[in-house]
Amino acid sequence: MRAGCHSLMQSSIQQVQTLALSTLYEAYSGKMIVAVVGVLGVGFTLALFLGDVAITETAQMQQALLAGFLRMSLVFVLVVFVVNGCVREIQDRSILLTLSLPVSRTTVFFGKFCAYTLVALIIVIFACIELSIFAPLAHIIPWGVTLWLESTLVIAFGLVCAFSLGQVPLAITTVVGFYLLSRSMSAVLLIAHHPIIHSDSVGQSVLVYLADAVALMLPALDQFARAELILYGAGPEFHLSSLLLQGAIYALLLVSIALFDLYRKNF
């Protein structure tokens, strides 16, 4: 019985590996590498340009803007890659071929998810290498770890949207909206809770409750991969364990939603 379970587990892992390899091959053969190299090149040029024009705090200017640029651009490249890859498989029906194999839908999902998170890890490592030209490595590591966590959440949400919406523009718009809202939710809450003109109107109260409810459902992405980490290092207010916990909880939530949706789909 025990040996049966063990061999089943091993065969599932092998299936995940095979599916992940095919997704990695897709990343390699597609234009993703070009996009990533382009982003890194533009980032590097931008940092050099800023180093030329800044009259003070040159290094900080380069670090902050390069970190901000890489964070936004690489997450966007990943979103496009994930959504485009999945939707294409659904639209050209090649996913039917995969599903006709003796593999569970969970295995199919994890094959893709693992491959994309691995791609994200490679991209983040390249971003960190580029940043290390301008900033100390000790500052870059916590930034890189949290950027990878953030990318993982965005990938999971991208998979949810790709499978449930089935259209590239709609899915990308939704993921970008989710990402931007998650990053700016703290500011939204602050403004909602403390308006300059206080009013007892029902509308304002409802808006505050709505903002609170939305915040509960979103990951605290504003705490991830902040440029302050690169500029000043991980201070006492930075708790990597808390962010790892948030990343794990939210990744689990998104993976469950994606699997729930995937199992119900009739392709």
The identity of residue 198, as a single letter, is H
Burial of 208 (0-12, 13-18, 19+ CB in 10 A): middle
Asked if 31 interacts with another protein (CB under 8 A), we say no
Window of 35-43, 113-121, 145-153, 239-247 that interacts with another protein by CB under 8 A: 239-247
For the chain, how far is it from start to end, CA to CA, in angstroms?
34
The residue among 30 and 195 lying less far from another protein, judged by its C-beta, is: 195
Asked if 72 interacts with another protein (CB under 8 A), we say no
Measured in whole angstroms, the distance separating CA 142 from the mean position of its chain's CA atoms is 16
- How many CA atoms lie less than 13 Å away from 181 in the CB half-sphere? 14
Asked if 45 interacts with another protein (CB under 8 A), we say no
Asked if 106 interacts with another protein (CB under 8 A), we say yes
Asked if 13 interacts with another protein (CB under 8 A), we say no
Window of 31-39, 126-134, 149-157, 220-228 that interacts with another protein by CB under 8 A: 220-228
The residue among 132 and 167 lying less far from another protein, judged by its C-beta, is: 167
Residues in the chain: 267
Asked if 7 interacts with another protein (CB under 8 A), we say no
Per the structure block, which two tokens stand in for 184?
């700016």
Asked if 223 interacts with another protein (CB under 8 A), we say yes
Q: Which position among 101, 191, 206, 240 is part of the footprint of another protein (CB under 8 A)?
A: 191
Nearest to 260 by CA among 164, 116, 162: 164
Cα-Cα-Cα-Cα dihedral sign, residues 90, 76, 150, 42: positive
Asked if 99 interacts with another protein (CB under 8 A), we say no
Measured distance CA(145)–CA(133) in Å, rounded: 18
Burial of 167 (0-12, 13-18, 19+ CB in 10 A): middle
Least Å distance between CB 138 and another protein? 23
Asked if 231 interacts with another protein (CB under 8 A), we say no
Q: Which position among 98, 118, 166, 173 is part of the footprint of another protein (CB under 8 A)?
A: 166
Least Å distance between CB 28 and another protein? 27
Per the structure block, which two tokens stand in for 267?
């392709």
* Residues at the contact surface with another protein, assessed by CB under 8 A: 90-91, 106, 165-167, 170, 185-187, 189-191, 193-197, 199, 212, 215-220, 222-223, 237, 242, 245-246, 249-250, 252-253, 255-257, 259-260, 263-267
